[in-house]
A and B are shown apart, each in its own frame.
Chain A
Amino acid sequence: MSFVSVRSVFQSYDNRPILERVNLEVEEGEFVSIVGASGCGKSTFLRLLLAQETPTRGEITVDGNPPAREPGLERGVVFQRYSTFPHLSVRDNIVAGESFRRPWGRYFGAEKRAARARADETLARIGLDHVADNYPATLSGGMQQRLAIGQALVARPRILLLDEPFGALDPGTRLAMHDFLTELRDETGMTVFMVTHDLEEGFKLGDRVIVFDKPRWDPDDPGAYGATITYDFDARNGGIPFQTIKEQTHVLLPT
């Protein structure tokens, strides 16, 4: 069995089907981009992966463990907004990534000093050491998202879920964040699911791009059927599906 296994998952709200018969097998270390039109259940699927909701039918397992009933340590998440804690300084946000699992949610004494030192190392690596004592609200959008990703990663999750993490950023910052994410991923080899509206981004970052769409459509009742995975592209090598370029040809090489 593969690392993340989604088996015949259905999800409906008030008898309105949102997702139908979703099946997906993902190996450890894969980066899966999730794309699709608005209202096609992308975010619902991510919430199911996060175990924030439980599916009406079917199950999702990670590493063969029984399906989770609530979000926990094995899943890390970064949302488009509200992913950092506004009342904690940047450094304390990173420390929280490790300390929230403790009985009082904090470290004391020597442990605290060690955790702060580790947090400063993390901040230096993600380029936020110069604002360690600031509050997140004073940071730019890109810096806040970098902090959110750093915070999620120090908790060492098995899978990382990103819900349009760069949706609110300007194009330049977005490119910088792509490099940042690629670097972190090369370092950690983590399994990542990313919901995005940007196809280009999905193909650039992902190993696979899965597309959510409604396979059946009732023109008199658009809400009658739910969405499922309609395409599953191999996006390695810059998104040229199922091709490995062996020699220089006239085909543009992916950058």
Chain B
Amino acid sequence: MRLINRKPGRAFALFLLLVPFVLALIAYSVGSEIRLAENPADKLLPAPSKIVATAERLFTEPDKRSGRILLWHDTAISLRRLGLGVMLSALAGLVFGLLIGLLPHLRAMFSGFVAVVSMIPPLAILPILFIVFGLGEVSKVVLIVIGITPFLIRDMSQRTLEIPREMIVKAETLGASTATIALRVALPQVLPRLIQSVRLSLGPAWLFLIAAEAIASDLGLGYRIFIVRRYLAMDVILTYVLWITLLAFTLDWLLKKLSERLFPWTEASL
């Protein structure tokens, strides 16, 4: 039997799913063990048990100076920045994408501009953002918006263009105006794709968030990682990295579930 036709059973698939995770954990433990055996004070690869202990401390014990549990504060502020940035971008991407996809005049005017703007490396203009918007919340949100909006606009306008012409013509023969076609034919069909694109751009959004926080901030997940780097506190960094990964994964999963819940008709076509 060809390899492309061999499929794992349910239990075996679950086992295969876990294998890389377990292997990564084992590789880390072995590496950590070797280094700690040579030098018990080694900080680079702390033992898994130490990471767990640190995580417990970070999640439960308040900071001595401020009396707040910093991790939760960092999480809240980072998620707020991320959420705000992603939501603004999604809204802009949806509105401009629909307009560019539907209206030939706007397409002629903006598609080239958006293509060029999307090539600007967002991190390269981060200094400008700090100068213009200051070091507060705005510059971080704006960096996320600038970073992912051009991609979302291009993707949404492309998706709008991919709506079969027949469907648009059919709506026209039913007497639909441009606004009706936009709101009742195009919008519902690109909304599921918007969630898809937002899921894809969550990765870059986290990147921009952490970069902005690392450079200028006094709270936030990215800020914390970069501040404890000075003390080589690998246990703290690793805890934060795992926590961020978990948050990102959960967000992605929630968006997927949201899409399935809101747009049952996309499932029907599969």
Chain A residues with a Cβ under 8 A of chain B? 50, 52, 70-73, 75-77, 79, 81-87, 96-97, 100-106, 134-135, 137-138, 148, 151-152, 155, 157
Q: What CA separation (Å) do A52 and B265 show in the bound complex?
A: 28
One of A77, A101, A137 near B269 (C-beta < 8 A): A137
Hey, what's the 0/1 contact readout for B174-199 against A, CB within 8 Å counting as 1? Answer: 11110110011100110000000000
Q: What CA separation (Å) do A97 and B184 show in the bound complex?
A: 12
Q: What CA separation (Å) do A105 and B176 show in the bound complex?
A: 7
Q: What CA separation (Å) do A70 and B165 show in the bound complex?
A: 13
Contacts of B185 in A (CB 8 A): 85
Q: How large is the interface on B (under 10, 10 to 19, 20 to 34, 35 or more residues)?
A: 20 to 34
Tell me what chain A mostly uses at the interface: helix, strand, loop, or mixed. Answer: loop
Q: What CA separation (Å) do A97 and B173 show in the bound complex?
A: 9
Q: For the A-B complex with A73-B174, A105-B177, A134-B268 known, give 18 more contacts whose Cβ atoms are closer than 8 Å.
A: A71-B173, A72-B172, A72-B175, A73-B175, A77-B169, A77-B173, A79-B170, A82-B167, A82-B170, A83-B167, A84-B170, A86-B268, A87-B265, A97-B174, A100-B176, A100-B184, A103-B180, A137-B269
A105 touches B183 (CB 8 A): yes
Tell me what chain B mostly uses at the interface: helix, strand, loop, or mixed. Answer: helix
Q: What CA separation (Å) do A50 and B172 show in the bound complex?
A: 10
Q: Which residue of A has the minimal Cβ distance to B185? A: A85
Q: Which residue of B has the minimal Cβ distance to A73? A: B175
Contacts of B172 in A (CB 8 A): 70-72
A76 touches B173 (CB 8 A): yes
Q: What CA separation (Å) do A146 and B123 show in the bound complex?
A: 55
B189 touches A86 (CB 8 A): yes
Contacts of A50 in B (CB 8 A): 169, 173
A73 touches B269 (CB 8 A): no
Contacts of B265 in A (CB 8 A): 86-87, 135, 137
Known: A82-B167, A135-B265, A137-B269. A105 touches B184 (CB 8 A): yes
Q: Which residue of A has the minimal Cβ distance to B192? A: A87
Task: Jot down 8 A-B pairs with beta carbons below 8 A, ordered by A.
Answer: A50-B173, A85-B170, A101-B175, A105-B176, A137-B268, A148-B170, A152-B170, A155-B175
Contacts of A96 in B (CB 8 A): 171, 174, 184
B180 touches A81 (CB 8 A): no
Q: What CA separation (Å) do A97 and B175 show in the bound complex?
A: 9
Contacts of B269 in A (CB 8 A): 86, 135, 137
A106 touches B170 (CB 8 A): no
Contacts of A77 in B (CB 8 A): 169-170, 173
For residue A73, give the distance in angstroms from its CB to the closest CB of chain B: 4
One of B170, B177, B189 near A83 (C-beta < 8 A): B170
For residue A12, give the distance in angstroms from its CB to the closest CB of chain B: 20
Q: What CA separation (Å) do A50 and B188 show in the bound complex?
A: 26
A157 touches B173 (CB 8 A): yes
Contacts of B189 in A (CB 8 A): 86-87
Q: What CA separation (Å) do A22 and B89 show in the bound complex?
A: 51
Contacts of A73 in B (CB 8 A): 173-175
Q: Which residue of A has the minimal Cβ distance to B191? A: A87
For residue B88, give the distance in angstroms from its CB to the closest CB of chain A: 25
Known: A85-B185, A137-B269. A79 touches B175 (CB 8 A): no
Q: Identify which of residues 225-270 in chain B touch chain A, using a CB-to-CB cut-off of 8 Å.
A: 263-265, 268-269
For residue B71, give the distance in angstroms from its CB to the closest CB of chain A: 42
Hey, what's the 0/1 contact readout for B13-51 against A, CB within 8 Å counting as 1? Answer: 000000000000000000000000000000000000000
